[in-house]
Structure 1
């Protein structure tokens, strides 16, 4: 059973994949060569069969963790009776070309006194389904698993024999490092290495560290954010960058799979893919911080998906894709894994890819519109593809769907899906007018106005005095907190303010916000879930737009207390304050940035 909680992790990455590092020095999640590839270390989901790469003191110790300032370099500090030591973890950033070669660099340092570290390298290839062999050599070790390999390089000085006591037990490598004050050693784990293990000198390793630090600081220096919450916004920006697949610009929802929304429940999904919705939201957040290159890269990714189209009734866009744009996402369960704290099934793949979610067209068009306003050019081919998508939407928006929350209890006429369909036509009309592009603008305007009237007529519930989740019920939905942000209604409109009051009364507990009430609005899944941190930050945004600044600032500051020790958020927060769901979640960090920017502007 997993002992380390979800929140007790930091993340490192190289812009093509990522690893999670526990506060006790264990890498217990790592997939390669991409975010959506099979895992090599997966103890996060099965302590016995998942595999890990652990470096920690041999005796009693306390631990703390931090990021090297303004970087994605993670420092885990250990204090024991005889000394203080550190493990510094990082992955040198990859270039824009897809590669199977990735490096996890682990610098081990004694700061004061003397400290002995125990090292365990225990990979479990293909989610623990593929056996492997381990071979020790003087300069390190090699792990082979039917064509897939890992190479472990030793970082040491000439004459150093710190691998002399290394041993292999059942395919795992064990060794011990004893260091005195100011001594530095380390290990570099390389995937699909072209060369055998080699000795890496400390000076070379230090240079690699410095280069990585400089890269992250140069990237973050491009941020134009000068608001009140620079540190937390910077950490969220770095996290979003870590979750971006550099070769395509696609943003994964999270680097993990199977982390439960309820301990022991079945709401355990694979989030290592690019959702059109999440990535579209990233455009406005990144542009607000001045990261125009990242926004442009996603725009290119989205344009490729729209131009490709797809067959079937689901529309020209899929809900989600692999990082390279593929759609082979068939869902299956890893029956041999116990799951995080016994939460099963552990799923890989995601059947939500085949759902109908109409809101994605509004989110996609809104991101294109935001990029256009920022000065990005929309080529003719891109406009032709967008026009085709809107023409499809004109024929299909008025039907039941699965909705933004990817429910599995049957299709409904979700108000949020209609709202974002309104956004799609509105933004298409604006783009056509701004650039004189050919389009059936009169038809789009008719569709837009028809949706507007339908939402006011059927999405508004007179008894609840609020906009509701879908046309055939009276349940509330926190997705509608985005309504004033879209421009559908002014932020001070009485209809919207009464909806905000209803959501606050029913879905908000202190600063925390539930997506909806599963008991009142069955979603086809058993059990309940925690509060949804995306919605909690969107609530802050909505309060700020409505002029309720004291409430907004208090709610925002309270939400910041739910971050983990290095400023990261999972998908949800349990009633106990525990973080739940996949981690770290891009959606949450996007919403944090949006809330911070909106609240800064409102406070003046």
Structure 2
């Protein structure tokens, strides 16, 4: 057994105080206690020991332990199992792939910070997207776009409390931002400054640095975030189960985001893929802005606010026409990644999901075909294939494969969608989890882990493809 805690991302070792069967670690204001019923000296000296029975290790807060360590660990395990059993029992899961959906839902719940309502994109930093690629990022923060997808997936299962917590978080972010533009990403307590630095003391995953702390994306302009905030709040106005449903006050806050959608939908930004070296008027950003305005019109109608409904509906109609004209490429025969740009990325697969076009629209059907021909490698999908700041992408992007699965199902290619989905489930590790990326040649997982995007994909595809309960029983 090796226990080697360090502080400040490997810069220095904490102070250690050894007791009879425990060791206390002090690092700044934090104190941690390691306790065991195994030989403490064997652990501290990292000696090989032949076990004669079960042993217990516990590393946690510096709280007194008033019962045997084995009994305490057993009680904690029982309480944990009981909690998650009770929580999952309330989920509205699909008939098929239940274990995968339950694991994904638990993972998304664990990626939410109960204290503030923030939802992190992943629990790790700097696991590279591909071997020795340098595409190493810190995902331990709350992306407003990613959070929308997480909220939407959990809502589909009936787990709406995460949405309620997130709305509290985003309200605080709005209030703190005042008139400043919304950032794409914030800290879990709403902190805006996420200055990106590189650790000089950590080698990185399998020696593949750099290890980044913080994320430069907080400085970027990504216009889709305004639509994402509105869409994340949408269900709160219509779900009668909620203790505090959306009201006129929340609607008026969301109208601030709606004004940004209206003013920015045709302006360049870094886009969903967070390009660091270019800006364009990205189709996904434009469509998310349209979706935000469209949903405000629906909410206004629900709240019996006809004047506000008229304003937002007229704006949505105008936006829809301009985006449709600018993002359809007649020569390619597909929707493109940006206005008047003859290239495609996987985000255009979401146009039907966002109700921008109907799934049966010939333009969307043609787009699904085009994406499959140009971004698919075996059963896996790349987000794009063009060179970016780090060269050409090497690995598939897991959430994009799920988007492709859902798009296939939407256009009537259901059997093909099920086949690819079952293959993706085989790529999960032994815990049923997925990271961000995948090597299409080997199936090896890469990127930060577990990735909320990818776990969202499991839930959304399973609920879309599963045989209905009433047909199965």
Structure 2: state its 5+ residue gaps: none
CA distance in 1, matches of 2:16, 2:67: 18
SS at match of 1:231: helix
Task: Supply the RMSD in Å over aligned alpha carbons.
Answer: 2.1
Query: Which of 189, 197, 200 is the matching residue for 2:68?
Result: 200
- Does residue 179 (structure 1) correspond to residue 18 (structure 2)? The answer is no
Deviation of 1:346 (Å): 1.6
- Does residue 333 (structure 1) correspond to residue 205 (structure 2)? The answer is no
Corresponding residue for residue 372 of structure 1: 237
Corresponding residue for residue 50 of structure 1: none
What's the CA shift string for 1:12-62, capped at 9, x where partnerless? xxxxxxxxxxxxxxxxxxxxxxxxxxxxxxxxxxxxxxxxxxxxxxxxxxx
Deviation of 1:485 (Å): 0.9
CA distance in 2, matches of 1:350, 1:332: 8
Write the mapping of 1:124-523 to structure 2, written as runs, cut at 5 A: 124-155=6-37, 162-163=38-39, 165-166=41-42, 168=44, 174=46, 177-180=49-52, 183-191=53-61, 193-195=62-64, 200-312=68-180, 315=181, 317-375=182-240, 376=242, 377-437=245-305, 440-519=308-387, 523=388
Indicate conservation of the 8 Å contact 1:538/1:591, yes or no. yes
- Structure 1 range deviating more: 138-147 or 449-458: 138-147
Indicate conservation of the 8 Å contact 1:253/1:274, yes or no. yes
Deviation of 1:437 (Å): 3.6
Write the mapping of 1:40-119 to structure 2, written as runs, cut at 5 A: 119=1
Deviation of 1:526 (Å): 3.4
SS at match of 2:91: coil
What's the CA shift string for 1:224-270, capped at 9, x where partnerless? 21421101001101111111111122111000001111211221110
- Does residue 580 (structure 1) correspond to residue 457 (structure 2)? The answer is no
Q: 1:226 to 1:602 in 2, by over 3 A?
A: closer
- Does residue 525 (structure 1) correspond to residue 390 (structure 2)? The answer is yes
- Does residue 549 (structure 1) correspond to residue 411 (structure 2)? The answer is no
Corresponding residue for residue 598 of structure 1: 464
Q: 1:532 to 1:362 in 2, by over 3 A?
A: same
- Does residue 566 (structure 1) correspond to residue 431 (structure 2)? The answer is yes
Q: 1:383 to 1:151 in 2, by over 3 A?
A: same
Q: 1:272 to 1:257 in 2, by over 3 A?
A: same
- Which of the pair has the greater relative contact order for Cα pairs under 8 Å at 6+ separation? 2
What's the CA shift string for 1:68-90, capped at 9, x where partnerless? xxxxxxxxxxxxxxxxxxxxxxx
Structure 1: state its 5+ residue gaps: 1-118, 156-161
* Greater percentage in helix: 2
Which 4+ runs in 1 deviate beyond 4 A? Answer: 601-604
SS at match of 1:174: coil
Deviation of 1:293 (Å): 1.8
Indicate conservation of the 8 Å contact 2:439/2:446, yes or no. yes
State the aligned residue count.
466
SS at match of 1:551: helix
What's the CA shift string for 1:529-560, capped at 9, x where partnerless? 31010011111111111121111111111111
Q: 1:457 to 1:164 in 2, by over 3 A?
A: closer
* Greater percentage in strand: 1
**Length-normalised TM-score, structure 2:** 0.93
- Does residue 536 (structure 1) correspond to residue 401 (structure 2)? The answer is yes
